[in-house]
Amino acid sequence: MTEFQLIERYFTSQEKPSWLRTGIGDDGAVLTSDPRQQVVVTDTLVENVHFFANTSAHAVGHKALAVNLSDLAAMGAEPRWVTLNLTLPEQNESWLQAFAEGFYALAEQYGVTLIGGDTTRGPLSITVTAGGYIAKGQTAVLRSGAIAGGDLCVVGALGLAALAVAKRKAGEQPSEDQANALDYPQAQVAAGLELQQYASAAIDVSDGFLADLKHIAEASSVSFCLDGNALQQMAAEQNEESAIAMFSGGDDYALLFVLSPGKQPPAWAQVVGSCVSGSAPLKLVGGPDWLHSAFDKAKNKAGYQHF
Ligand code: ADP
Ligand code: MG
């Protein structure tokens, strides 16, 4: 198979939407203009860095798209288009077939169209770039907008993916929930669409809950007081290991947001603390000793850093 036959076989199955003048097959994609604010995000997955070498191709296809949908959700954007840059060590048709199925299953779920990409040979790595729109008359939700006084809310689970990584590294089998959180993360797309109505600031949790919360704190010059009783409820198990995974484990793709003044928290979010003025360190109030012990160990850890 030539490179062009490969692209034709695996990556041209979607219908062309009306906003796409020219899709895959020319030097560039041509999109009709749109008056709404557009958000563009990109994320790379590298084998043995972002996923274990034995992860199924279907899961890799899903995750490469999901992590980008999560970034769009955190900005309050509705996903629309993606590009796919694939670097493959070899031409493996069953791998490509399963990868494409995982990728398209998620793309179709959210009406996202693949508009282009690049295909090269080298160590396995996947880069997806995605574009989405902010609802008419609204603006994107930034890390820097947090207003003190609002509740801190979480959408999705925390710490399951990190527990799956720990188990696999130890040669053990993660639970089904843990394995799914790691291999098939669910981007909070529906919550993202409602975010402008509720949030003064938001971020998606990719590096770890506390590390990503600090990004909002720094960008907005605020701090947070965490509710130990609410966070105890969010721990996968009632022990320190599970709480450390919740506080510092990465790869969750949950959303964190600060509730706007005068808003009631929506039913789809968990309130886990409040945003406070000033730049004091993050604080944990209430909850069991094991949670505090996990917090003390996790709070000085930086999130995952490549360099
Ligand atoms: P060029 O040489 O102009 O960079 P390519 O040969 O790389 O073009 O790609 C040909 C067409 O196929 C382009 O429209 C490109 O966007 C698309 N394409 C290449 N690889 C992929 C891929 N992995 N997924 C989707 N589209 C792809
Ligand atoms: Mg090219």
pLDDT of residue 296: 97
Strands 125-133 and 78-88: antiparallel
- Give the residue among 207, 213, 206 at the shortest CA–CA distance from 272: 213
pLDDT tens by residue, 255-286? 999 999 999 999 999 999 999 999 999 999 99
Decide if pLDDT at 26 tops 90. Answer: yes
Dist CA 228 CA 219 (whole Å): 24
Distance 24 CA to ligand 1 centre (A): 6
Q: Does residue 106 contact residue 62 with C-beta atoms inside 8 Å?
A: yes
**Ligand closest to the CA atom of residue 6:** 1
The amino acid present at 82, given as its one-letter code, is: V
pLDDT tens by residue, 176-222? 999 999 999 999 999 999 999 999 999 999 999 999 999 999 999 99
**Ligand closest to the CA atom of residue 119:** 1
Decide if pLDDT at 24 tops 80. Answer: yes
Decide if pLDDT at 235 tops 90. Answer: yes
Decide if pLDDT at 53 tops 90. Answer: yes
The torsion region of residue 116 among left (phi > 0), alpha (psi -120 to 50) and beta comes to left
Decide if pLDDT at 307 tops 90. Answer: no
Give the ligand 1 atom nearest the CA of 23: 14
Structure tokens at 243: 């709480």
Decide if pLDDT at 5 tops 90. Answer: yes
pLDDT of residue 9: 95
Give the ligand 1 atom nearest the CA of 28: 14
Residue of higher predicted confidence among 264 and 302: 264
The amino acid present at 132, given as its one-letter code, is: G
Dist CA 234 CA 246 (whole Å): 8
Distance 119 CA to ligand 2 centre (A): 7
Q: Which residues contact 196 (CB under 8 A, 6 or more apart)?
A: 76, 134, 135, 138, 139, 141
pLDDT of residue 303: 72
Cβ of 7 less than 6 Å from ligand 1: yes
The amino acid present at 202, given as its one-letter code, is: A
In this prediction, residue 300 has a pLDDT band, given cuts at 50, 70 and 90, of confident
Residue from 45, 119, 121 whose mutation best tests the ligand 1 pocket (most atoms within 8 A of CB) = 119
**Ligand closest to the CA atom of residue 7:** 1
Dist CA 69 CA 82 (whole Å): 10
The three-class DSSP label of residue 84 is: strand
Dist CA 158 CA 168 (whole Å): 18
Q: What rounded mean pLDDT belongs to the chain?
A: 97
- Give the residue among 307, 43, 56 at the shortest CA–CA distance from 182: 56
Cβ of 64 less than 6 Å from ligand 1: no
List for the chain the helix, strand, coil content (%; round to 5). Answer: 35, 25, 35
- Give the residue among 95, 93, 68, 83 at the shortest CA–CA distance from 119: 83
Distance 221 CA to ligand 1 centre (A): 43
Q: Which residues contact 1 (CB under 8 A, 6 or more apart)?
A: 9, 91, 93
pLDDT of residue 304: 76
Decide if pLDDT at 39 tops 90. Answer: yes
The three-class DSSP label of residue 172 is: coil
Give the ligand 1 atom nearest the CA of 3: 6
In this prediction, residue 30 has a pLDDT band, given cuts at 50, 70 and 90, of very high
Residues by chain with Cβ below 5 Å of ion ligand 2: 118
Decide if pLDDT at 302 tops 80. Answer: no
The three-class DSSP label of residue 6 is: helix
In this prediction, residue 306 has a pLDDT band, given cuts at 50, 70 and 90, of confident
pLDDT of residue 22: 97
pLDDT tens by residue, 143-180? 999 999 999 999 999 999 999 999 999 999 999 999 99
Cβ of 25 less than 6 Å from ligand 1: yes
pLDDT tens by residue, 66-113? 999 999 999 999 999 999 999 999 999 999 999 999 999 999 999 999
Structure tokens at 224: 């947070």
